[in-house]
Chain A
Amino acid sequence: MKRIMVKERAGVFAEDKDTAAGIREMELYPTLAAGKAVCLDFTGVDGATQSFIHAMIRGLVSKIGVEVLDRIDFKGCNDSVKGIISIVCEYSQLDAADDVSEARKSEVLRQGH
């Protein structure tokens, strides 16, 4: 399983969204889209913002689907980081139905043309 050490990329306070988006696009998405699993290791990270976690996770759920969360291990999270990850995962799933219907709509429009 691919392991990503968040502290090495984002420091002890994970708040830089560009870093988060970089992890998502360069490491998480290619691995998860290939059907593999990933371990996001937060050991040594003592805090994170919702914006950071959102930039890392939300796009994966909308592109790959809610099931992608079954293939991500969130490791070494303290309670506050766990709380923020839980919020983002929860609302990402609320929004996922919308994402799917938007994608279907685009597909139907493409076929219509």
Chain B
Amino acid sequence: MHPKWVNVHPAVVAFTACVAEAVTRNGGGHFGDIPAIRSLPYLVRVGLFDYVKLAHGMNISQHEEAGRFIPLRRLANSKQLSDFIIDMIPLLHAPPTEVEPIRYVISELVRNVLEHASAASGAFVCAQYYKTTRTLAIGIADDGIGILKSLTRSHTAESDWDAICLALRPGITGTTKKLGGNEYNAGAGLFFTKSIACASRNYFVVYSGDALYKLRRVPAGKTIVLHGDPSEDNHTKVTGLPKWSGTVVGIDLSLGQDVPFVSLMELIRGAFSVDVKRQQKDKYKKPRFT
């Protein structure tokens, strides 16, 4: 690792803060060295060392946050989430049409944590704006029960990987066996989020238990097709990772993306109904021919 080229995605920042907080809460201590990477001032300024109790030795002047990053926040309830979304929007210095997918994604992902994760510390959220690519990277992490445990309250999944794939399908929620969800949960939050990343030709990653799903970018010029079944998307599967009981989600969004939010909803509508119909059809009993 060359210290000059270390790039820390906000998902890593949120995850690190979440781990550090869990260690502190359980009475553990923090030990280690801090490498002199170029991102260190950013990590200090974003608030990572409010959770990681190590001396970073830096004296940082507080730069204006607007348009550059959203510092680490821990959100433990619905009110804090609503306030965070209101506070966050001006920091982005972006027109309303560009803000729409960002607040959408943050709301859906944090609500997932608050409703399903049983996370003692709530959700850790952090974001960074990359001016040259006009990309906003968002990270959300929790130390809750993880996707496998949450989903298997109502569905069958053998592994963390199976559970992640199931959670990414529209209409699957841990709160009911019924496809399409119940009156309070549709089981569509992660599917919408993945779809927004896909349409934005960007990355989306979910890490829970020992598995990681990474949606790969749709190359420029290639038609965007949304899939209800995540295995049909161009993705990377990683299993056997160090076990994390909670969940980490990272997503990149392009401001001024080439598919407007309104058109994106049309695409999602198509993919959603096709997949839910297909899953319902899968449930129908087949005649047994002998």
| Partner-B contacts on A (CB < 8 A) | 11, 13, 15-18, 21, 24, 46-47, 49-51, 54-55, 58-59, 62-63, 79-80, 83-84, 86-88, 90-92, 94-95, 98, 102
Which residue of the partner chain, among A17, A58, A91, contacts B111 with CB atoms under 8 Å? A17
Could you tell me if B181 and A58 are in contact, using CB atoms closer than 8 angstroms?
yes
Which residue of the partner chain, among A50, A55, A79, A98, contacts B184 with CB atoms under 8 Å? A55
Interface of chain B, helix or strand or loop or mixed?
Answer: helix
B175-190 contact mask (Cβ, 8 Å, vs A): 1 or 0: 0001111111110110
Give the contacts of B218-270 with A (CB-CB under 8 A).
261-262, 265-266, 268-269
- Residues of chain B at interface, number, CB under 8 A: 38
Which residue of the partner chain, among B78, B86, B180, contacts A98 with CB atoms under 8 Å? B180
Using Cβ atoms and an 8 Å threshold, which residues of chain B touch A95? 178-180, 276
Given A16-B82, A59-B184, A94-B273, 18 additional A-B pairs, CB 8 A: A15-B85, A15-B107, A17-B184, A47-B100, A49-B104, A51-B186, A55-B183, A58-B181, A58-B182, A79-B262, A83-B269, A87-B268, A87-B269, A88-B186, A91-B170, A94-B276, A94-B280, A95-B180
A-B residue pair count with CB separations less than 8 angstroms: 102
Query: For B82, B184, B185, B188, which residue has the most chain A Cβ atoms within 10 angstroms?
Result: B184
Q: Is B272 an interface residue (CB 8 A)?
A: yes
| Partner-A contacts on B (CB < 8 A) | 78, 81-82, 85-86, 96, 100, 103-104, 107-108, 111, 115, 170-171, 178-186, 188-189, 192, 261-262, 265-266, 268-269, 272-273, 276-277, 280
Could you tell me if A54 and B181 are in contact, using CB atoms closer than 8 angstroms?
yes
Query: For B96, B111, B180, B261, which residue has the most chain A Cβ atoms within 10 angstroms?
Result: B180
CA separation between A61 and B123, bound complex, in Å? Answer: 32
Using Cβ atoms and an 8 Å threshold, which residues of chain A touch B104? 15, 47, 49
Q: Enumerate 28 A-B pairs (CB-CB under 8 Å) in ascending A order.
A: A11-B86, A13-B85, A15-B85, A15-B103, A16-B82, A21-B184, A46-B96, A50-B189, A51-B108, A51-B185, A51-B188, A54-B181, A54-B185, A58-B181, A59-B183, A63-B183, A80-B261, A83-B262, A86-B269, A87-B268, A90-B273, A91-B170, A91-B171, A91-B180, A91-B186, A91-B276, A95-B180, A98-B179
Shortest beta-carbon distance, B237 to chain A, in Å?
27
Could you tell me if B265 and A58 are in contact, using CB atoms closer than 8 angstroms?
no
Could you tell me if A11 and B82 are in contact, using CB atoms closer than 8 angstroms?
yes
Interface of chain A, helix or strand or loop or mixed?
Answer: helix
Could you tell me if A94 and B180 are in contact, using CB atoms closer than 8 angstroms?
yes
CA separation between A18 and B108, bound complex, in Å? Answer: 13
| Known contacts A46-B96, A47-B103, A54 near B269 by CB under 8 Å | no
